[in-house]
C-alpha cells in the first residue's frame, strides 16, 4: 500500500530551509514545497546576493506557507539551523523537516522521510543519499565523516553528512544543537542517539549539479569538523 500523508499532518509539518546565496536555485524549491501544502521556515543566512528578495517574492505568492527569518551577517549553516529550530517551535509543529535550499534534494522525498514519523516507527529520520551517485571526492569525504562520527560520537550511520532530516516536535525539544557549520549533521545524529530517540534511515534522491557540488562537506570541511569534534571532547 502506498503511503500518503494526511492533509492534517501536512498542515502541521514545517520545513526548515537554511539559505545562503541561493538566489538562482531556491525559488523552485520553496514554491514546490508550498504547492504540496507544507509550511516553511526559511532562514536567510546573511546572503550577499538577492536570496532574501527572491524568498519574499515567493512569500507574496504563498503568504500562509512561508515564514522568513534573516541573519544580518553570514554565520554558517549550523547557526542558521539553530535559528530555524528556535523559530519553528513558535508555530507548534507536529513534524519538522530540514532540507537543503539549493535543489539538491527532491521535494518528492518529503513524504518518504515523514513516513516513519507519521507511522510512529521513529521520531527522527535522516535521508541517506545513494553513494553511487556521489562524486568521488564527496564520497571519500563522506566516508571519512561517517568514520569520525562513529569514533567521536559512537553512532554508526550510512550518511552522517546528509542535510535532509526530519524529527517530531516532541523529539526536537530533547536535542540541543550548538554546531556552527557542517558539524550540525553529525551533531544532530549524536543528539538523537544520546537522547535515545527512535531513529530511522530513509533512502533519498540527490540531484548533483556543479552548483550543488560547490557546497557541502568536502575534505577541507571534513578537517574543520574533525577539529570541532576534538574540541567537543573537552
Partner 1 sequence: MLLYSILVPIVGIIFIVLFLVRYMKGKSSLLTVFLWALLWIIVSLFAIFPDSSSYFAKLFGITRGLDFVIIAVFAVLVYTIFKLYFKLDKLQDDLNTIVKEVALNNEISLDDKEE
3-state secondary structure of 203: strand
Q: Rounded CA gap, 50 and 35, in Å?
A: 22
| Contact with partner 1 (CB under 8 A) among 12, 52, 198, 205 | 52
130 part of the interface to partner 1, by CB under 8 A: no
- Considering only residues 2, 7, 8, 72, which one is a binding residue for partner 1 as defined by CB under 8 A? 72
Sole binder of partner 1 in the list 11, 12, 70, 195 (CB under 8 A): 70
Closest distance to partner 1 from the beta carbon of 231 (Å): 8
Please report whether residue 62 would count as binding partner 1 according to CB under 8 A.
no
Q: Does 67 bind partner 1 (CB under 8 A)?
A: yes
Chain residues 93-112 in contact with partner 1, contact rule CB under 8 A: none
Question: Which residues pair with residue 105 across a beta bridge?
Answer: 206
Q: Is 43 in the site for partner 1 (CB under 8 A)?
A: yes
Kind of pairing between the strands at 13-19 and 39-45? parallel
Determine which residue in the list 3, 4, 28, 86 makes contact with partner 1, applying CB under 8 A. Answer: 86
Q: Yes or no: say if 229 and 190 are a contact pair by the CB < 8 Å rule.
A: no
Residue from 6, 7, 8, 60 that binds partner 1 (CB under 8 A)?
60
Measured from the CB atom, the residue of 15 and 197 that comes closer to partner 1 is: 15
Which residue do the cell numbers 562524486 mark?
A: 135
Query: Residue 51, interface with partner 1 (CB under 8 A)?
Result: no
Q: Is 5 near partner 1 (CB under 8 A)?
A: no
- Contacts for 35 with CB less than 8 Å, ≥ 6 apart: none
Question: Angle, nearest 10°, between helix axes 136-153 and 219-232?
Answer: 10
Q: What is the dihedral of CA 58, 63, 69, 73, to 10 degrees?
A: 30
Point out which span in 60-68, 138-146, 184-192, 196-204 binds partner 1 (CB under 8 A). 60-68
- Listed in sequence order, the residues at least 6 apart from 56 whose beta carbon sits closer than 8 Å to its beta carbon are 68
Q: How crowded is residue 1: how many other Cβ atoms within 10 Å of its Cβ?
A: 3
User: Which CB sits closer to partner 1, 158 or 178?
Assistant: 178
Residue 200 binds partner 1, judged by CB under 8 A:
no
Any contact of residue 143 with partner 1 (CB under 8 A)?
no
Rounded to an integer, what distance in angstroms lies between the CA atom of residue 142 and that of residue 222? 8
Which residues contact partner 1 by CB under 8 A? 43, 46, 52, 56, 59-60, 63, 67-73, 75, 79, 82-83, 86-87, 180
Amino acid at each position: 500500500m502506498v503511503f500518503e500523508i494526511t492533509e492534517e499532518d501536512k498542515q502541521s509539518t514545517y520545513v526548515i530551509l537554511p539559505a545562503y546565496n541561493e538566489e538562482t536555485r531556491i525559488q523552485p524549491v520553496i514554491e514546490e514545497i508550498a504547492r504540496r501544502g507544507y509550511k516553511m521556515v526559511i532562514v536567510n543566512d546573511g546572503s550577499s546576493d538577492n536570496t532574501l528578495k527572491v524568498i519574499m517574492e515567493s512569500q507574496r505568492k504563498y503568504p500562509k506557507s512561508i515564514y522568513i527569518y534573516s541573519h544580518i551577517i553570514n554565520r554558517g549553516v549550523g547557526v542558521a539551523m539553530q535559528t530555524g529550530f528556535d523559530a519553528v517551535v513558535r508555530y507548534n509543529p507536529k513534524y519538522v523537516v530540514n532540507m537543503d535550499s539549493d535543489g539538491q534534494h527532491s521535494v518528492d522525498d518529503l513524504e518518504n522521510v515523514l513516513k516513519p514519523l507519521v507511522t510512529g516507527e521513529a521520531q527522527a529520520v535522516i535521508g541517506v543519499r545513494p553513494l553511487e551517485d556521489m562524486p568521488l571526492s564527496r564520497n571519500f569525504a563522506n566516508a571519512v565523516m561517517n568514520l569520525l562520527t562513529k569514533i567521536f560520537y559512537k553512532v554508526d550511520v550510512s550518511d552522517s553528512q546528509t542535510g535532509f532530516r526530519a524529527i517530531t516536535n516532541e523529539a526536537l525539544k530533547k536535542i540541543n544543537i550548538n554546531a556552527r557549520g557542517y558539524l550540525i549533521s553529525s551533531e544532530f545524529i549524536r543528539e538523537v542517539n544520546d537522547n535515545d530517540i527512535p531513529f530511522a534511515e530513509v533512502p533519498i534522491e540527490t540531484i548533483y549539479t556543479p552548483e550543488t557540488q560547490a557546497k557541502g562537506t568536502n575534505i577541507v570541511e571534513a578537517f574543520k569538523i574533525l577539529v570541532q569534534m576534538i574540541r567537543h571532547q573537552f
